Amino acid sequence: MKRALKKMLATPAPETRIISSWEEVDQYLRRIGEIDIAIAMIEGNMTLQINEIRAKYEAEAEPLRHERLTLEAAIAAFVEDHKEEFAKTRSKELTFGVVAFRIVKKIVIRSIKATIAAMHALHLEQYIRTIEEPDKELMADLDDNTLSKIGAVRKVEDRLRIEPNLEKIKEAA
């Protein structure tokens, strides 16, 4: 694998010039494919090394994470046992930090579909968020004059597609 990668990387990049034959186009396609293969191999190696490094440091940090969770649980238990001390002030500042209670309100929805249906039935549409955006697929059916009236234009492009045959390039390598 590494030998094939070194061979691909050893091939010099062609100078930017005008192509004069289909054979040259074919050779350029081959080189593009070799570059794509080499990049994929490099990125694969990078991902493997990143995963190894991540695993190593996560393993080092795991005992600290566990200790932190244990300490937080102990603090939470102690503070809950002394909650009456937070009746007047919602926080307690200590030398190395703060413990505090705060009121948290949140809406829990069991079923979005059922909630929306019930909101429609109760005429609570103002509490339903809707996102408005142009539908470009449907807008393709509009004529150019109508598109111009709404501040849109039809853009037609003839895009070139360059697609090396990686299987044949791998076989040739």
pLDDT attached to residue 17: 74
Chain segment 135-147, per-residue pLDDT in tens: 999 999 999 999 9
Global pTM reads 0.54
Averaged over 115-134, what is the pLDDT?
Answer: 94
Domain housing 31: 2-104
Instruction: Tell me the pLDDT of the chain averaged across its residues.
Output: 91
- Confirm whether 29 is domain-assigned: yes
Q: Is residue 145 part of a domain?
A: no
Name the E strands within the chain.
91-94, 97-100
Q: Is residue 161 part of a domain?
A: no
Question: How buried is residue 97: exposed, middle or buried, by Cβ count under 10 Å (0-12/13-18/19+)?
Answer: exposed
Q: Is residue 109 part of a domain?
A: no
Taking the CA atoms of the chain, what radius of gyration do you get in angstroms? 32
Number of domains in the chain: 1
146 domain-assigned: no
> Is 149 domain-assigned?
no
